[in-house]
Chain A
Amino acid sequence: MGRPVAIIGVGQTRHGRRFDVSYPELVKEAVDALFDTTGIGPDDVDGVVSGTMPSMMEGVALTHFYFADVLRSVGKPIMKTETCGSTGASLAITGYYWVASGMADLVLVVGSEKMNEGDSQATMTTVLEPFYQRYFIAGAPGIFSMQSQEWSVRFGIPEDKIRAAATRLTIDHHSDAFDNPYAHIKKKLTEEEVNNARIITYPVRLWDVCPNSDGACAVLFASEDKVKQMGRKPAWIRGVGYSGEEYWFGDSDKVVWQSAIQASREAYRMAGVTNPIEDLDVAEVYNPFTFQELLFYECFGFCDFGKACDETLKGTFARDGKLPCDPSGGTLCTNPIGATGLIRVSEAALQVTGQAGDHQIPGAKLAFAHAMGGVDQYNAVLILGSEL
């Protein structure tokens, strides 16, 4: 393995509808927050990793040019990572390898999105090529509905049980979001409200779906020497996993989902995690849809296949449960896509360094962060620990 790498600082914007600032100013807010809280200056930074969703989402191409100044990257090497929805996690992974390779000691990683400036669902259809799939798959909810239906049939999970578990998740997450100062949607929901909400694409209803958020996140990756030199409490990168599957949606199994299984196992192996439900203290699962979050628990080995609903209803993944998932409110409450995966990593770093404030999981030492991208095509997992 390469040199040890740690996260020694994070910065986030207030996420939400941010028409009060232009896009570069939004990015600046996250970068400045990072430098302000760490007391580290941009002059110390060896390189910058930048990323967003595709140009068509932004309406500006190759945004590393536009953001060059706010990223404090002038006169420095830059990388521009983009892997669709998993961009945020891929950004973190780029920062990790840059430091692990020995080519840099301090790398600033920034992800951002201004979802409300474009048309996210229309952009999503351009992920599909114009020969075949573009005419059938309209936006993200349709894809996730198909996946969810397949899952319920495969494992014979009654529809009302899935509904009950999904309702439990969304009520918990939207309530947890009150304890996260950066979260976008914060709401006390009732079961009735959730169960009777407008159908987006059956069985997905309004409160099963993440919002369109504007936001940015900045994370500082450091070598072991820099960790010592800067005197900051480190969140060590203990495991990294990434996997991608076929482009054509119909080609692979999205229930026993290979890329999700493989990315998590790759990260577990590296981190020495053998029993995730026992070993992990907290997880930030990328959950743009409640149903998908349940499926992820199974793919990541948090519980057996077909059992996620039962475990959720038992409270296993709640704030006070055995493995709290998304105490930040997760993607379900806040989704500036290009930043979202990086926010998961940043939340994991805050948890293992005891800096998560009101949504801190007491004594968290080992955290799981995840992102998903493409048309159910990519999964990325990072494991962060308070100890090396």
Chain B
Amino acid sequence: MSKDYNTLRHIVRLPHSYAAGPVWTRFYEGLKEEKIYGTRCDKCSKIYVPARPFCPGCHENLDDWVEVSQEGEVVSWAYSRESEFFGMQMKPPFIIALIRLDDTDSNLLHFVGGKALDRLEIKKGQRVKAVWNEEKKGHMMDIKYFEPID
């Protein structure tokens, strides 16, 4: 009986233009120059990557900009062989990871690619380095992925 009822398909599309403010704007400019920037908190000395306007913990304004290392260690990772995810530019197969860049205090969410995809045997602490896309758009995906260093 209930199977006889209709369903109504409807798609909602809405445009947004998000204000990046000074910090994201400067961070993206850095990406265009193949530089990764963080900001350091004067109070707790932590360096956050990507750069932040304020320290989440101390709530201080952050204006101490530091160019951080493009190498670091994998903290956690997950592998997709076939699953695609809505909104994600990266298509499978891919490895998404939390990466602690050297001398920073937060984990960067990005992809691990290259040789890593052949092996799929990443251990916590695997060393990686940034690989850049040729074309830069001022976007998180200007970094193509991070690649294992042996």
A28 and B23 alpha carbons, distance in the complex (Å): 14
Q: Which stretch of A14-22, A218-226, A320-328, A339-347 is in the interface?
A: A14-22
Contact B19 A21 (CB under 8 A): yes
A20 and B23 alpha carbons, distance in the complex (Å): 10
Asked whether any CB of chain B lies closer than 8 Å to the CB of A122, the reply is yes
**B10, B14, B23, B57: the one within 8 Å of A56 (CB):** B14
A309 and B70 alpha carbons, distance in the complex (Å): 68
A307 and B54 alpha carbons, distance in the complex (Å): 52
Contact A22 B20 (CB under 8 A): yes
A20 and B56 alpha carbons, distance in the complex (Å): 20
Contact B8 A117 (CB under 8 A): no
**A42, A56, A117: the one within 8 Å of B12 (CB):** A56
Question: Contacts A69-B56, A74-B56; is A22 near B12 (CB within 8 Å)?
Answer: no
Q: Hey, which chain B residues are within 8 Å of A28, CB to CB?
A: 53-54
Asked whether any CB of chain B lies closer than 8 Å to the CB of A363, the reply is no
Chain A's nearest CB lies how many Å from the CB of B55?
9
Interface size on B, residues (CB 8 A): 19
Q: Which stretch of A123-131, A272-280, A330-338, A373-381 is in the interface?
A: A123-131
Contact A21 B14 (CB under 8 A): no
Bits for B9-49, please: 1 = Cβ < 8 Å to A, else 0. Answer: 01010111111111110000000000000000000000000
Asked whether any CB of chain B lies closer than 8 Å to the CB of A159, the reply is no
Contact B21 A22 (CB under 8 A): yes
B-facing residues in A9-50 (Cβ within 8 Å): 18-25, 28, 42
Contact B56 A117 (CB under 8 A): no
Contact B23 A22 (CB under 8 A): yes
Asked whether any CB of chain A lies closer than 8 Å to the CB of B115, the reply is no
Q: Hey, which chain A residues are within 8 Å of B22, CB to CB?
A: 20-21
Classify chain A: how many residues form its interface, as a range. 20 to 34
Q: Hey, which chain A residues are within 8 Å of B81, CB to CB?
A: none
Asked whether any CB of chain A lies closer than 8 Å to the CB of B59, the reply is yes
| CB nearest to B10 among chain A residues | A130
Contact A119 B14 (CB under 8 A): yes
**B10, B53, B56, B59: the one within 8 Å of A22 (CB):** B53
A239 and B98 alpha carbons, distance in the complex (Å): 50
Contact A19 B56 (CB under 8 A): no
Chain B's nearest CB lies how many Å from the CB of A57?
8
Asked whether any CB of chain B lies closer than 8 Å to the CB of A59, the reply is yes
Contact B15 A22 (CB under 8 A): no
| CB nearest to B24 among chain A residues | A22
A-facing residues in B32-84 (Cβ within 8 Å): 53-54, 56-57, 59
| CB nearest to A70 among chain B residues | B54
Q: Hey, which chain A residues are within 8 Å of B54, CB to CB?
A: 25, 28, 69-70
**B8, B15, B56: the one within 8 Å of A118 (CB):** B15
**A25, A42, A118: the one within 8 Å of B53 (CB):** A25
A70 and B16 alpha carbons, distance in the complex (Å): 22
Contact A118 B14 (CB under 8 A): yes
**A20, A23, A119, A126: the one within 8 Å of B18 (CB):** A23
Q: Hey, which chain A residues are within 8 Å of B16, CB to CB?
A: 59, 117-119
**B10, B18, B53, B59: the one within 8 Å of A117 (CB):** B18
Q: Hey, which chain A residues are within 8 Å of B12, CB to CB?
A: 56, 126
| CB nearest to B55 among chain A residues | A69
Chain A's nearest CB lies how many Å from the CB of B137?
19
Q: Hey, which chain A residues are within 8 Å of B18, CB to CB?
A: 22-23, 59, 117
| CB nearest to A123 among chain B residues | B14
Contact A42 B14 (CB under 8 A): no
Q: Hey, which chain B residues are within 8 Å of A118, CB to CB?
A: 14-16
A56 and B14 alpha carbons, distance in the complex (Å): 7
A-B contact pairs, 5 of them (CB 8 A): A22-B18, A22-B24, A28-B53, A117-B16, A119-B15
B positions within 8 Å CB-CB of A: 8, 10, 12, 14-24, 53-54, 56-57, 59
Extra contacts besides A25-B21, A119-B14 (19): CB < 8 Å: A21-B19, A22-B19, A22-B21, A25-B54, A28-B54, A59-B14, A59-B16, A69-B56, A70-B59, A72-B59, A116-B19, A117-B17, A117-B18, A118-B14, A118-B15, A118-B16, A119-B16, A122-B15, A131-B8
4 shortest interchain CB distances as A-B pairs? A59-B16, A22-B21, A69-B56, A130-B10
